[in-house]
């Protein structure tokens, strides 16, 4: 197959969908790889590095000519989509829950689209799990950004001039991003606590050396879906949770919020009153800002100052660690490729495979994913 890798054109996107390492492996699998000039620069990769790995580097037209598969990080806009060859397959982070209109355009363009976010979280697909690979780095980076915005030290320090207190970090939502945030904050020497609504997270939080704080009622005991995600919680639970969080947050220095419900707006966990109860110099990092935010005061790609409390809404934290995020993302794509490949390295998707079925949005000129079909 000819695999095309294009430069990312979305605002703030610094990652790239192939690295010299992934190119070498693709060439080893008998594919050819064409990279748009400059595609890796923001992730620290020169065109020459790709060429040394066996790729060709050229213009958009060169790269897309005869391409079977297009590797992207983010979805194309209409102008970019118009350049894609009919029948080619696009693999990327296509934001599928919000992509009804876009899916119709992909279908009309005759492009096969694979939304990497829809790859099921089953054991066989772990190596393809972009949500985990990117959330893990986002959780790490959130704490690094938080420590940067925080005007004080993270670890306790005993010096001849006196003692510096350790920062108190509170992580809300202890999934993939939250657990890495906890581990990172602990490594930096902070005193860490965390909350979640899934009972399974309690032990994971404790195993990382953080204190678990949650309303552990009957609803909490049943809050995990069969797929391992959190259910939306009732208004009654949310009120109890808010009361508990309000009394805890007032003593915290850095709060990292990561709570998400797939396909829905993020739950509000940190109210304006809670933000105002925190002392000046404290920091909130809202990882859910792109899904509406866990804090109503967070704004996309801004650090808002609320009475001295900094509320940061970075929409692309993995993009702030672009080299590593690209390397992991490129490996995720590489792991999925055999499901789209037949004999002699030809383009032959295994349409009946459960992973392919779950992730394909469009094929044969039609929207095929149940979540995006009309009606
Ligand atoms: N089997 C696998 O390969 C695999 C891979 C990745 C993740 N998982 C599992 O999937 C689950 C979800 O992980 P994720 O990080 O993708 O989740 P996510 O990004 O959807 O949500 C982040 C966290 O927010 C929590 N949350 C949601 N609503 C909340 C609320 N009102 N208050 C507090 N917390 C709230 C969720 O429980 C979750 O832990 C975890 O159990 C994880 O271990 C499994």
Give tens-digit pLDDT for 179-202: 999 999 999 999 999 999 999 999
Ligand 1 shell residues, CB under 6 Å: 121, 126, 129, 131-132, 135, 172-178, 195-198, 200-201, 228-230, 233, 258-262, 267, 269
Give the model's pLDDT for residue 375: 54
Q: Identical fold at 2-128+321-366 and 136-320?
A: yes
CA 175/CA 73 separation, integer angstroms: 22
CA distances from 200 to 35, 138, 173, 312 (A): 43, 21, 12, 28
Average pLDDT over residues 148-172: 97
pLDDT at residue number 373: 84
Domain boundaries along the sequence of the chain: 2-128+321-366, 136-320
Lowest mean pLDDT among 24-33, 175-184, 221-230, 266-275: 221-230
Shortest-distance Cα residue to atom 43 of ligand 1: 175
**Rounded distance, CA 274 to CA 251, Å?**
11
How is 116-157 classified by DSSP, letter by letter?
GGGS---GGGGGG-HHHHHHHHHHHHHHHHHHHHSSS-SS-E
**From 3.40.50.880, 3.40.50.720, 2.40.10.120, 3.30.1490.270, which CATH number describes the 136-320 domain?**
3.40.50.720
Catalytic residue among 22, 74, 84, 132, which? Answer: 132
Q: What are phi and psi of 337, to 5 degrees?
A: -55, -40
Q: What DSSP assignment string belongs to 227-267? A: TSPBPPPPHHHHHHHHHHHHHHHTT-SEEEE----TTSPPP
The whole-number average pLDDT for the span 38-44 is: 98
User: What average pLDDT score do residues 127-154 get?
Assistant: 98
In this prediction the pTM is: 0.96
Domain 2-128+321-366 has CATH 3.40.50.720: yes
Q: Of 32, 47, 121, 186, which is the active-site residue? A: 121
Residue 204, pLDDT above cutoff 80:
yes
Distance 268 CA to ligand 1 centre (A): 16
Place of tokens 């904050």: 185
Atom number of ligand 1 nearest to Cα 131: 16
Tokens matching residue 239: 């009120």
**Whether the predicted pLDDT of 261 surpasses 60:** yes
**SS3 state of residue 72:** strand
Give, using CA atoms, the residue closest to atom 13 of ligand 1: 175
**Known active-site residue 132:** yes
Of all residues in the chain, what percent carry a pLDDT higher than 70? 100
- Residue-averaged pLDDT of the chain: 97
Question: Distance between CA atoms of 46 and 309, rounded to whole angstroms?
Answer: 40
Strands 254-257, 283-286: pairing kind: parallel
């Amino acid at each position: 197959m000819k695999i095309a890798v294009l430069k990312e054109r979305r605002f703030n996107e610094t990652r790239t969908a192939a690295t010299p390492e992934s190119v070498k492996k693709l060439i080893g699998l008998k594919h050819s790889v064409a990279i748009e000039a400059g595609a890796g620069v923001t992730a620290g990769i020169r065109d020459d590095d790709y060429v040394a790995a066996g790729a060709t580097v050229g213009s958009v037209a060169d790269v897309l000519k005869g391409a079977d598969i297009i590797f992207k990080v983010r979805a194309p806009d209409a102008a970019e989509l118009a350049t894609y060859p009919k029948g080619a397959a696009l693999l990327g982070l296509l934001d599928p829950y919000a992509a009804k209109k876009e899916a119709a355009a992909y279908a009309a363009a005759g492009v096969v689209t694979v939304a990497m976010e829809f790859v099921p979280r089953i054991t066989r697909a772990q190596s393809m799990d972009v949500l985990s690979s990117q959330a893990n780095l986002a959780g790490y980076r959130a704490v690094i950004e938080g420590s940067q915005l925080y005007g004080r030290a993270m670890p306790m320090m005993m010096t001849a001039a006196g003692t510096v207190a350790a920062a108190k970090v509170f992580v809300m939502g202890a999934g993939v991003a939250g657990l890495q945030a906890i581990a990172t904050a602990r490594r930096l020497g902070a005193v860490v606590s965390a909350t979640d609504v899934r009972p399974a997270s309690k032990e994971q939080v404790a195993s990382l050396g953080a204190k678990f704080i949650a309303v552990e009622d009957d609803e909490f005991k049943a809050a995990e879906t069969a797929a391992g995600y959190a259910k939306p919680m009732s208004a009654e639970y949310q009120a109890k949770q808010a009361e508990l969080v309000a009394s805890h947050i007032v003593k915290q220095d850095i709060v990292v919020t990561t709570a998400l419900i797939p396909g829905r707006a993020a739950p509000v966990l940190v109210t304006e009153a809670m933000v105002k109860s925190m002392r000046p110099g404290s920091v909130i990092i809202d990882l859910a800002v792109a899904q509406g935010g866990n804090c109503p005061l967070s704004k996309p790609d801004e650090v808002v100052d609320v009475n001295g409390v900094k509320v940061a809404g970075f929409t692309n934290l993995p993009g702030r660690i672009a080299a590593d995020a690209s390397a992991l993302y490129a490996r995720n794509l590489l792991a999925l490729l055999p499901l789209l490949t037949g004999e002699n390295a030809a383009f032959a998707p295994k349409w009946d495979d459960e992973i392919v079925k779950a992730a394909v949005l469009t094929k044969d000129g039609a929207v095929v994913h149940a979540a995006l079909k009309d009606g």
